[in-house]
Amino acid sequence: MMTLYSGTTDPFSQRCRIVLYEKGMDFQIVDVDLEKKAEDIALMNPYNEVPVLVERDLILHESNIINEYIDERFPHPQLMPPDPVMRARTRYFLFRFEKDIFIHVAELESKVSKKHDKARLQIRDALLQMVPMFAKHKYLLGEEYSMLDVALTPLLWRLDYYDISLPKQALPLMKYAERLFVRPAFSEAITSAERGMRK
């Protein structure tokens, strides 16, 4: 059985929880207190971070790697596109999300507040650039829910918590976020601490 070591308020862990519930297979989630991580996290992950996925002799960390492994191991429903070109494009966009958006999420999660205003602005600008896509499409790859949507969901859920306000022109993005939040797997994967992050 797969075991996911997951931070109850960690956006990267939330991605992995969503994928596990989308797949509907057998797994175990071990909640990790981010303030007082158990020593075994450092033994499993040299960066002493969650999420960490353990299955028999395999130990993985980094949410996108974990999620691709789960998707290949349990292919239904498929969250990475079957076509090699689209799969490469999806990986490219996931890479861009990490470099352009989630690097600033990590800054907001840190205790160093002097970087927070700049990080909020960078995230806001990146999200606003995506708005036209949602005026035309249901999800990031069109009509099909994919790993790209999984990757963005924790950030969209935390906009209030991170004190990021979007203008009215972002309405298509907010409607897209609501489509993500009503998915059954999202409701099953969310922790009580994460529920408290939205007003």
**Cα–Cα distance measured from residue 122 to residue 107, given in angstroms and rounded to the nearest whole number:** 11
Using the Cα atoms of residue 155, residue 70, residue 95 and residue 40 in order, give the sign of their dihedral: positive
Question: How many other CB atoms are there within 10 angstroms of residue 140's CB atom?
Answer: 21
Q: To 5 degrees, how large is the angle CA 147–CA 185–CA 190? A: 100
Domain ranges of the chain: 2-78+187-195, 84-183
Architecture of the domain defined by 2-78+187-195 = 3-Layer(aba) Sandwich (3.40)
Which pTM does this prediction carry? 0.96
Correct CATH for 84-183 of 3.40.50.970, 1.20.1050.10, 3.40.1030.10, 3.40.50.620: 1.20.1050.10
**Cα–Cα distance measured from residue 152 to residue 148, given in angstroms and rounded to the nearest whole number:** 7
Task: Answer left, alpha or beta for residue 124, where phi above 0 means left and psi between -120 and 50 means alpha.
Answer: alpha
Going from the C-alpha of 76 to that of each of 23, 73, 81, the distances in angstroms are 6, 9, 12
Place of tokens 């600033």: 104
pLDDT tens for the 199 residues of the chain, in order? 999 999 999 999 999 999 999 999 899 999 998 887 778 898 999 998 999 999 999 999 999 999 999 999 999 999 999 999 999 999 999 999 999 999 999 999 888 788 899 999 999 999 999 999 998 899 999 999 999 999 999 999 999 999 999 999 999 999 999 999 999 999 999 999 999 999 7
